[in-house]
Amino acid sequence: MTIKNEYTETVRDLQALIRREAEASKRADLLANVDKMQLQIERQREQLGSLAVLCERVDGLVWLVRGVVVATALEIVAGIVVALLVKGH
């Protein structure tokens, strides 16, 4: 089964519409709109790349926070053990 590329199909439909359009002024407007659409899609793709980088950074921060929580818990347990040992002497 093949996956349809909706963007490609949309561009083809728009190009066919532009070819059928009789007036040159309308054709220029439609081509300008297709160009704007293409620029917007490229920007969205760039933003998705930025989002992926951001997700990786958030994952790194999650592990950092987990490490801090574990280190804090170990320090608390060590402090309690030391306090009990000192109190026993």
Pull the structure tokens for residue 86: 């000192």
Q: CA separation (Å) from 23 to 12, 51, 71?
A: 19, 42, 72
Q: Which among 2, 18, 22, 21 is positioned nearest to 10, based on CA atoms?
A: 18
**1 in any annotated domain:** no
Parent domain of 81:
6-88
Structural domains in the chain (count): 1
pTM greater than 0.85 (yes/no): no
pLDDT per residue, tens digit, the chain (89 aa), is: 445 566 667 777 777 777 776 577 777 777 778 778 878 887 887 777 787 788 888 999 999 999 999 999 999 999 999 999 998 76
Q: Cα separation of 49 and 40, whole Å? A: 14
**40 in any annotated domain:** yes
**26 in any annotated domain:** yes
Contact 21, 30 (CB under 8 A): yes
Contact 17, 37 (CB under 8 A): no
